[in-house]
């Protein structure tokens, strides 16, 4: 005899098996925070997400109950802040987004968050390595230049590191660059793509305007635009007057990055995002991670693009970037070795 429930489950499974690849569990760690809440809402609106798992050290089930009333098809579950809750949130996840950790206050650099966020990310990475070793991990928590190497070291120490599946989310820099250049040029940002390479803090953020639709931008206009892209985060931190940093634009950017990975996983070709990954581009200079254009595929990173032609001004920005970046990466790697 079939119970009504098992018939329902069978029908539901059949419905999904028509497009089996659409069974995608996405987990948000830090789901009740300033980024976590709008990010979770945007993921609830994404048809490619079938199961949304929300975990936080406080408030996860409440946010899940709220979002679960949105009338899209996916299921939403909130988990208690226990090891069992975290395990259940991670079990079977295809994508894990990590916006857990403290944000900046005015006057702080992203690196000033290291002391608090390094151990938060390390511990969540340990849980992800144990319970979702094949998931694509999208690290949002700052300082991204260090928290991504931390996550890599944790996965490596547990013997499950696959560099194709670890991403530092730098999408907000791309979103800002597109928006800010459209303001200067009075164009529609939908038509503006700017490649932004390097890392995700101040001078490590390197916009390549020479490769945009407006390679002619020069002089003071260019300097101001580049500075605004590099320090866009500070603009928000200052405006929020101690109440945190970018959350809504970051949620939008994180949802875009997750969607790009889901589209690539479901067979779409030529999905390209700039993202901070283990990269061969500057390995000869001891820099293991770098953000550049990456073609995404079913397994995550499919192809890391060359940087392409840059002008003298941009080469100067890259040189400065590499100095900071190598220190940020080394700091993350050393942290895990000293605090396993």
Ligand X SMILES: NC(=O)C1=CN([C@@H]2O[C@H](COP(=O)(O)OP(=O)(O)OC[C@H]3O[C@@H](n4cnc5c(N)ncnc54)[C@H](O)[C@@H]3O)[C@@H](O)[C@H]2O)C=CC1
Ligand Y SMILES: O=C([O-])CC(=O)C(=O)O
Choices 18-26, 94-102, 209-217, 280-288; region in contact with ligand X by CB under 6 A: 94-102
Which CA distances in Å does 200 have to 100, 141, 148, 323, 328? 17, 11, 11, 14, 10
Which CA distances in Å does 107 have to 118, 200, 213, 237? 20, 17, 34, 9
Choices 103-111, 266-274, 310-318, 324-332; region in contact with ligand Y by CB under 6 A: 103-111
User: Per-residue string for binding with ligand Y, 181-220, x by CB under 6 A?
Assistant: ----------------------------------------
Nearer to ligand X, 30 or 149 (CB): 30
Nearer to ligand Y, 78 or 332 (CB): 332
- Give the separation between CA 313 and CA 332, rounded to whole angstroms: 29
Residue 151 within binding range of ligand Y, rule CB under 6 A = no
Q: Which residue is nearest to ligand X (CB)?
A: 33
Identify which of 303, 340, 300, 276 has the alpha carbon closest to the alpha carbon of residue 146: 276
Residue 12, preceding bond cis, omega within 30 degrees? no
Choices 31-39, 224-232, 256-264, 282-290; region in contact with ligand X by CB under 6 A: 31-39
Residue 245 within binding range of ligand Y, rule CB under 6 A = yes
Residue 169 within binding range of ligand X, rule CB under 6 A = yes
For 107-154, list the strands marked E by DSSP.
136-139
Question: Which helix H or strand E contains 274, and what residues bound it?
Answer: strand 271-278
Q: How far is the CB of 124 from ligand X (least distance, A)?
A: 6
Identify which of 237, 236, 273, 267 has the alpha carbon closest to the alpha carbon of residue 253: 273
Q: How many residues does the chain have?
A: 340
Point out which residues bind ligand Y (CB under 6 A): 103-104, 110, 142, 172, 233, 236-237, 245-246
Point out which residues bind ligand X (CB under 6 A): 29-30, 32-36, 55-58, 99-104, 113, 117, 120, 124, 140-142, 144, 169, 172, 200, 244-247, 250
């Amino acid at each position: 005899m079939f119970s009504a429930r098992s018939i329902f489950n069978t029908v539901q499974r059949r419905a999904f098996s028509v497009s089996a690849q659409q069974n995608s569990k996405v987990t948000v760690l830090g789901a009740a925070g300033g980024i976590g809440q709008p990010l979770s809402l945007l993921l609830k609106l994404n048809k490619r997400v079938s199961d949304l798992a929300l975990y936080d050290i406080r408030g996860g089930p409440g946010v899940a109950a709220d979002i679960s009333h949105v009338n899209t098809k996916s299921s939403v579950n909130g988990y208690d802040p226990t090891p069992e809750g975290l395990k259940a949130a991670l079990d079977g996840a295809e994508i894990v987004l990590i916006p857990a950790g403290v944000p900046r206050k005015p006057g702080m650099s992203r690196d000033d968050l290291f002391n608090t966020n390094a151990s938060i990310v390390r511990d969540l990475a340990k849980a992800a390595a144990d319970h979702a070793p094949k998931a694509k991990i999208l690290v949002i928590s700052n300082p991204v230049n260090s928290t991504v190497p931390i996550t890599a070291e944790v996965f490596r120490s547990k013997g499950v590191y696959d560099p194709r599946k670890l991403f530092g989310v730098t999408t907000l820099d791309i979103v800002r660059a597109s928006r800010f250049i459209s303001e200067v040029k009075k164009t529609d940002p939908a038509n503006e793509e700017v490649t932004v390479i390097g890392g995700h803090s101040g001078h490590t953020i390197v916009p390549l305007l020479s490769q945009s639709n407006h390679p002619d931008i020069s002089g003071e206009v260019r300097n101001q635009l580049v500075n605004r892209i590099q320090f866009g985060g500070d603009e928000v931190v200052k405006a929020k007057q101690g109440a945190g940093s970018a959350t809504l634009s970051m949620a939008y950017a994180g949802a875009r990055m997750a969607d790009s990975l889901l589209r690539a996983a479901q067979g779409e070709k030529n999905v390209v995002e700039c993202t901070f990954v283990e990269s061969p581009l500057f390995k000869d200079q001891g820099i293991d991670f770098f953000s550049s254009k990456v073609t995404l595929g079913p397994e995550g990173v499919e192809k890391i693009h060359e940087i392409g032609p840059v002008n003298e001004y941009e080469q100067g920005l890259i040189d400065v970037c590499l100095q900071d970046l190598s220190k940020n990466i080394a700091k993350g790697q050393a942290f895990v070795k000293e605090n396993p």
